[in-house]
Chains A and B, each alone.
Chain A
Amino acid sequence: MNSLKTSFQKLMMYPSALVGLAAILLLVIVSIYTMIAIPYPEAIRLWRGGEEVWYRNPKFAAPVWVNFFSSKKYSESFAVGTADGGISKIATPGKNDVTTYNMTYEFDFDYDVYPQDMILYFDSTFKEKQPFVSVELITPDERTIRISNFAVGNSFTYRFSQDAKLRTKLRAEEVIPALFSDPATGNLMKGKYKLIVIGTTFEPDSTMDMEFVSHGQVYGLAGTDHARRDLTLPLLWGAPVALAFGLIAAIGTSLLTMIIAAVGTWYSGWVDELIQRITEVNLVLPFFALLIMIGTFYSRSIWVILSATILLSIFTGAILGYRAVFLQVKESMYVEAAKAYGASNWRIIFMYLIPRMIPLLIPGLVQAVPAFVFLEASLAVIGLGDPVLPTWGKIIQDAQANGALYKGYYYWVLEPAILLMITGLAFAVLGFALDRIFNPRLRDV
């Protein structure tokens, strides 16, 4: 206990290690939050979801914060609906089972770039008589633009930009710029716009709900990808996946290597010989090629890859390092004493040999984590990531496949890359400091 305390005090002398420790703690907190806030099945449903889940988002939208760095303000995407109260809906019953719904939404348009598109989604129930809708837009200079009138089915989508009639009416090449411009000068007009939708149903049990979606150039805190998915989901979920993969692989590999080395040195003879031969064979095996083969031929599940990684990483040069130390420990007096009072072999291995190795184990273990975190990302980048899980590597792979760097969607690559970098470096600096504290050979250099 005391030695732990002094070790920690020594760790305090390395500011970089404290930063690393803080970053790891933060990642752990984010991981726990993510797993509670977006449970696994929900995360998978969203990540695997197509248009039906993500239709509200624009494609390839940069995150909102790019506006801080840009001289031009890109228009933000938004989605509001009557179902969740985002748009006020006032129902006025009239004669002959007719009900009028007054749905208005006022929004600030304070950007320098026109939105890509605006879309209205209607949901209604009726038996025979289709509900009817008329749409108007009131501009900041109090003009009223009559957008369109149409009957809506059970579910109906109206896209402003695709409306040819509206285009003719506005005498413009494109609808959206025409709606948001001053007709006299043709310049973009900032200010408060008001969308008024008046819906009429003709049956007593008929209902009507509407969603109003604007696809801008920027969306949310992380932006979106080619499948309209909000990148906050894989960025958040990438944290627990990366930590789990890195930690399980590092702990599994280090512990198994140590136990096998201890067993080998204790029993010596053919056991030791066998372990050394397996290590030599393993050195000959092409590690990455085998992992890729397993990913391509057998399964890309993260658990299969994780097990294969651990199996292939047990019998490496590290086993020889542990062996050298165990050979010394084996000859020490307290092991002799244990033998003398008749302790069993397994008791000596697990209660006498291995505990002596823990201080040497910890730095190596922490330093091994980044390699495994990046291994998972590397496999994902060449297309062998888990097909189901949202991970940081997968984001980079999607971005690469869609030519993100070529087309300038930098956010798409940078966000996961920076998170990976933080995770990797946090463990690396902590492990580096621990190595300098625990490793007696490095104490003075």
Chain B
Amino acid sequence: MSLTAQAPSEKITFRKRFANSGFARMLRYVLVRVSTLFITVVVGIYLTILIANMGGFVDQIIRGEIRDGITQSIAANPAYQQLDTDQRKTLIEERIALEEKRRGLDTPIAVRNFKFLTSALQLDLGRAFNMTSDSGSKQVKLILLERLPATLLLMGTSQLFLFFSSLFIALNLSRHYGSFWDKVIIALSPSSAVPPWFYGIFMILIFASGLKALPFGGMVDSPPPANTIDYAANVMKHLVLPGFSLVISSFFLSVYNYRTFFLIYSSEDYVDMARAKGLHAKDIERRYILRPTLPNIITNFSLLIINLWTGALFTETVFLWPGLGRTAFQAIGLYDTPIIVGSAVIYAYLLAITVFLLNFIYALVDPRVKIGE
């Protein structure tokens, strides 16, 4: 009797304990978080597909292009010259139907959007309508992968340099609050209201057009140098102006923000307390100022890394840099929906994964943060 009465209560306490245990809490949190993030990605990608198809209008444009292309190719083909007009018309209609079927235009737009969504979410990016990679492929994946190194080179060098240099300088300035250089940075920080491509135009004007020291744009001379070392040097020469434009347009504001951020954290009471205890200035900086700012710095860094994927659309366009941003712009101009959606879906996944991982990283670096609360 007593046993049977005890068992369920033990079960309940076990379940209760399990439900309150860190592991279960984390599991629940992970499930909820993953599903909300996934739904977010799905909705975002579906909206992008809808806009990229323009509610079906892009279909009409593509249909028109197909009709034009086939009619012209048949009219120009000497093999079909003897056919009478009716025969030629049926031939044209057959070819158009075939081509529309190949492009999948024979299924209704809603079904196609849904198919597109599911395959995009599985990272099956499909084939581009009009664009081809330099190696001649129409695979969206290959086109994007071909442009990725260019963007990584430009964005990677400029953004990493920007991040570490501004962090380092800001830390230095926060030690010398109110100094001359501190005031210079404060005074110059509104300069970041001007976008990078705009500085780029001035750079081109001065260094390319005026001094003729650096190239106007592109990534490498044409024809490219055969020797690998010369090739690398040539790419570096092309990298200077766009890279510098990207850095200079964010540099002062970035330094200012980090500096202010460090100053706010170094005016906390526990920092004063540490000073009063007579701790070493270096220890205070590392353990009392930098440590609590770590989550923010990690967030900024991870956002920086995923933003490498989007490239710098306007700067790449102004400098004719063959990166992902310019590719997206060209794809839009050519109504090439698969490329637009492919690029968007990868960005969405990267962002979602980063946001998800950040929750755990916060908990790791900041003991005040607990997952699932």
A residues apposed to B, CB below 8 Å: 16, 277, 280-286, 288-290, 292-294, 296-298, 367, 370-371, 374, 377-378, 381-382, 396, 400, 405-406, 408, 410, 413-414, 417, 420-421, 424-425, 427-429, 431-432, 441-442, 444-445
Contact = CB atoms under 8 A, between A and B. Distances in A.
B113 interface: no
A293 B332 contact: yes
Given A296-B332, A367-B193, A381-B314, 19 more contacts: A277-B39, A280-B37, A281-B44, A281-B47, A289-B313, A290-B48, A292-B332, A297-B58, A374-B194, A374-B195, A374-B198, A396-B201, A405-B201, A405-B216, A408-B209, A413-B201, A420-B198, A421-B198, A428-B191
Contact of B317 (A370, A382, A408, A421): A382
Interface string B77-98: 0000000000000000000000
Contacts of A367: 193
B330 to A, nearest CB: 10
B54 A298 contact: yes
Interface in B26-69: 36-37, 39-41, 43-45, 47-48, 51-52, 54, 57-58
Contacts of B343: 286, 289
Contact of B347 (A284, A396, A444): A284
A183 to B, nearest CB: 39
B263 A445 contact: yes
A284 B190 contact: no
B313 A288 contact: yes
A410 B209 contact: yes
B247 interface: no
A444 B201 contact: no
Contacts of B332: 289, 292-293, 296
B328 A284 contact: no
B190 A286 contact: no
Given A297-B54, A405-B208, A405-B209, A277 B40 contact: yes
Contact of B216 (A406, A414, A425, A432): A406
18 contacts: A16-B187, A16-B190, A277-B39, A280-B37, A281-B43, A286-B310, A288-B313, A289-B340, A371-B193, A374-B193, A374-B194, A400-B318, A405-B201, A417-B198, A417-B202, A424-B193, A432-B189, A445-B263
Nearest to B331: A289
B329 interface: yes
Nearest to B57: A297
B205 interface: yes
Given A296-B332, A378-B197, A413-B201, A284 B264 contact: no
B205 A414 contact: yes
Contacts of A370: 193-194
User: Which of A281, A425, A427: most chain B Cβ within 10 A?
Assistant: A281
B333 interface: yes
B312 to A, nearest CB: 10
Interface size class of chain B, counting residues whose CB lies under 8 Å from the partner chain: 35 or more
Contacts, number: 128
Given A293-B340, A432-B189, A441 B201 contact: no
Contacts of B47: 281, 285
Contacts of A282: 44
A428 B47 CA distance: 33
User: Which of B45, B190, B318, B333: most chain A Cβ within 10 A?
Assistant: B190
Interface in B120-170: none
B264 A441 contact: yes
User: Which of A280, A294, A400, A425: most chain B Cβ within 10 A?
Assistant: A280
Contacts of B255: none
B193 A444 contact: no
Given A382-B329, A406-B216, A429 B190 contact: yes
Contacts of A396: 201
Contacts of B317: 381-382
B344 interface: yes
Interface string B276-287: 000000000000
Interface string B312-332: 011001100000000011001
Nearest to A383: B333
Interface string B337-373: 0001001100110011000000000000000000000
A445 B310 contact: no
A285 B205 contact: no
B117 interface: no
Nearest to B202: A417
A444 B352 CA distance: 37
7 cross-chain pairs, A with B, having the tightest CB-CB distances, nearest first: A284-B44, A428-B193, A428-B190, A370-B193, A445-B263, A297-B54, A284-B348
A442 B260 contact: yes
Contacts of A289: 48, 313, 328, 332, 340, 343-344
Contacts of B209: 405-406, 408, 410
A377 B209 CA distance: 22
Interface in B217-276: 260, 263-264, 267
A280 B260 CA distance: 27
B44 A425 contact: no
A294 B194 contact: no
B14 to A, nearest CB: 33
Given A381-B318, A382-B314, A408-B209, A283 B195 contact: no
A281 B54 CA distance: 19
User: Which of A371, A377, A378: most chain B Cβ within 10 A?
Assistant: A378
Given A281-B43, A293-B52, A405 B328 contact: no
A413 B198 contact: no
A444 B140 CA distance: 52
B308 interface: no
Contacts of B171: none
Nearest to A292: B332
Contacts of A431: 190
Contacts of B48: 285-286, 289-290
Given A290-B51, A297-B57, A298-B54, A413 B194 contact: no
A281 B190 contact: no
A292 B54 CA distance: 12
A284 B40 contact: yes
Contacts of A445: 177, 260, 263-264, 267
A281 to B, nearest CB: 5
B204 interface: yes
